[in-house]
A = this chain, B = another copy of it.
Amino acid sequence: MADTSREPVRVTLATLARELGVSRATVSNAYNRPDQLSAALRTKILRRARELSFAGPDPLARGLRRGRVGTVGLLLDEPLSYAFSDPAARALLDGLAHSLQEDGLALTLFASQPSGLDATPVRGAAVDGWVVQSLPIDHPFVTAALERGQPLVVLDQPALPGAPLVGIDDLAGAQLATEHLLALGHERLAVLAFKLRGDGHRGAVSPGRLEAITYEVTRRRYQGVIAGLAAYGRDPDELLVVETPHNDVDSAAAVAAELLGRDDRPSAVVCFSDQLALGVLTAARAAHLRVPTDLSVTGFDDTAEAALADPPLTTVAQPLHDRGAQVGGLLRALIRGESVSSPALGAVALTVRRSTAPPQ
């Protein structure tokens, strides 16, 4: 015996086998292949297991032998408190978890920390596959996960060669919202965007910054707005773009407060998420601006809270739960060894409610 640690003696399949005078294989079969042994022996084994408080085959050993652990790693771009503050993210996650559960797979979280990001946990984690949720392409997690050579599915971004991506037509969505506002007669539009890059910038965005957007979703939505303006023959340079470092109501409210305080205040704001739009509503209320009379606002995602907002939000709808489930389905297929390719982009549609109206 090489090891000398003296723990309270673990109960294993072997212990049970010895106790009952059967082979290890039979005890294993009692758990995994009930048809391989008589019902009587099986009950006997399970009873004795309970007596010895043996909780079943060790998941790690089983995993090693079978080549599967039963969990999937989820890579997140932010600390947990932020990552789940967006109801849209939660809906996606819910769909994902639901789908994974059909194969008994759990979700293991890997959240980015603002300071000193360390990918070692990703490198050493026991998982059967990965979901990359909206990361920038140069994120350390992405590299680490790719190196593992395991099944991997991307949710929204970044596009990765060889990995299926589940996304929506962001450009079309943003264009829909933009053209809706232009059709209403708005002249002065602003965009409230979430992260263009991972540097924590907030507030007005310079033209240079717009050239170097590293978050693909942000870039596509921005392009959608430009396309909408172009369709109406407007000059893209008139567009005012402001950025929040976090996709949540409070950050948005702060940034929106500045935006609405400007002399050249816009008459309509295209927001890249419902959370951001809710923030604009808050800021508008604080500034005694009436929505939609003084200000039109559009959201993106069509979360439950968009419909419940005051006023209810006009927003770009996307199938959140279903897309989450789609990611799960693809990943499960990959884990089963099937080969899959990226599905068509999810459909978007404009849900018109009462946060938009012609300018006064």
Contact = CB atoms under 8 A, between A and B. Distances in A.
A53 interface: yes
A53 B149 contact: yes
Contacts of A59: 124-127
Contacts of A107: 108-109
A106 interface: yes
Interface stretch (A91-99, A202-210, A339-347): A91-99
Contacts of A97: 79-80, 109, 111
B104 A124 contact: yes
Nearest to A308: B250
Contact of A60 (B69, B93, B108): B69
Nearest to A120: B104
Interface residues of A, number: 53
A111 B74 CA distance: 15
A285 B93 CA distance: 32
Contacts of A73: 106
A304 interface: yes
A29 interface: no
Interface in A30-72: 53, 55-56, 58-64, 69-71
Given A55-B149, A105-B121, 19 more contacts: A56-B124, A60-B63, A61-B64, A62-B124, A63-B126, A70-B121, A70-B125, A71-B71, A71-B108, A79-B94, A80-B90, A80-B97, A81-B94, A101-B113, A104-B121, A106-B125, A107-B109, A108-B108, A126-B126
24 contacts: A53-B147, A53-B149, A59-B125, A59-B127, A60-B64, A60-B69, A60-B126, A64-B64, A69-B126, A70-B124, A71-B125, A71-B126, A79-B94, A80-B84, A97-B111, A101-B121, A104-B120, A104-B121, A104-B124, A106-B108, A106-B125, A107-B108, A126-B126, A253-B308
